Amino acid sequence: MALEVILPGDEGAINTVAEWVAAQDFERVLDVGGLEKPLRPATHVIDLYPYHGRRVDEGRGPLPERFTADTWWIRDINETPWPFPDGRFDFVWCCQVVEDIRDPVAACKEMMRVGKAGFISTVHRSYESHVTQYDGVVGYHHHRWLVEADPENEALIFTWKSPILHTRPALRPPHYRQWLLNIRWDDRFDVYERFTGGDQGQYAELREYLTRWNQ
């Protein structure tokens, strides 16, 4: 069981891992949600959208693409189990997806079920908590979750992105520390949602994050 945060938290680190995957002798590699920037060394892709809609020009890793239309599975990744047996893949890749979907905990558990190791890239919580959009919206409009890694306890933690963040500047960090949270995992890691409850619970959790951010 292992969870490792890869620095720096930027696109360069993602591309480095993509090149590393391409250089390995992996028999099967799964890309989870690979429509926008598919992992070219992946042998299989699972995504809600079809093969012909993928961004070929935005792919990661060297050409040619290993996956084909026949190994592109059109599925809602929130719905489990996925159509693969346990331990099917040598490596599972998931880039800029878990912050968007309605059940990232279930998706992460499926990654661990079907894969032996993998990579997850998401938006760092400090960036998602900061005003980065031109219209003053905190984080990205379409993101549902604030994501943190706890390498000491080998855990990935999802906290619902409360609308309170948009209206209470005092509950946001004064600046962000990095853009992306890039994670390598082997075998298993812990994953859970941090439940905040109603308004008071959300306020308390946001204050608690600021305390941790300032430490």
Q: How far is residue 192 CA from its own chain's centroid?
A: 14
pLDDT band at residue 1, thresholds of 50, 70 and 90? low
pLDDT at residue 75 above 80? yes
Q: What is the pLDDT of residue 136?
A: 80
* pLDDT, the chain, mean: 95
pLDDT band at residue 34, thresholds of 50, 70 and 90? very high
pLDDT at residue 60 above 70? yes
Q: What is the pLDDT of residue 214?
A: 86
pTM of this structure: 0.96
Q: What is the pLDDT of residue 137?
A: 87
Contact between 4 and 181 (Cβ < 8 Å): no
CA distances from 162 to 85, 94, 104, 180 (A): 36, 24, 16, 20
104-150: pLDDT as tens digits: 999 999 999 999 999 999 999 999 999 877 788 899 999 999 999 99
Q: What is the pLDDT of residue 25?
A: 97
Contact between 180 and 9 (Cβ < 8 Å): yes
Q: What is the pLDDT of residue 114?
A: 98
137-189: pLDDT as tens digits: 899 999 999 999 999 999 999 999 999 999 999 999 998 989 999 999 999 99
17-30: pLDDT as tens digits: 999 999 999 999 99
Quote the CA–CA distance of 66 and 26 in Å, as a whole number: 11
Mean pLDDT for the stretch of residues 190-205: 95
Mean pLDDT for the stretch of residues 97-108: 98
Matching residue, tokens 């209470």? 168
Task: Go through the domains of the chain in sequence order and give each one's CATH number.
Answer: 2-214 (3.40.50)
Residues 6 or more apart in contact with residue 52 via CB below 8 angstroms: 69
Bridge partners, residue 155, by sequence: 150, 190
Instruction: Read off the tokens for 1.
Output: 């069981």
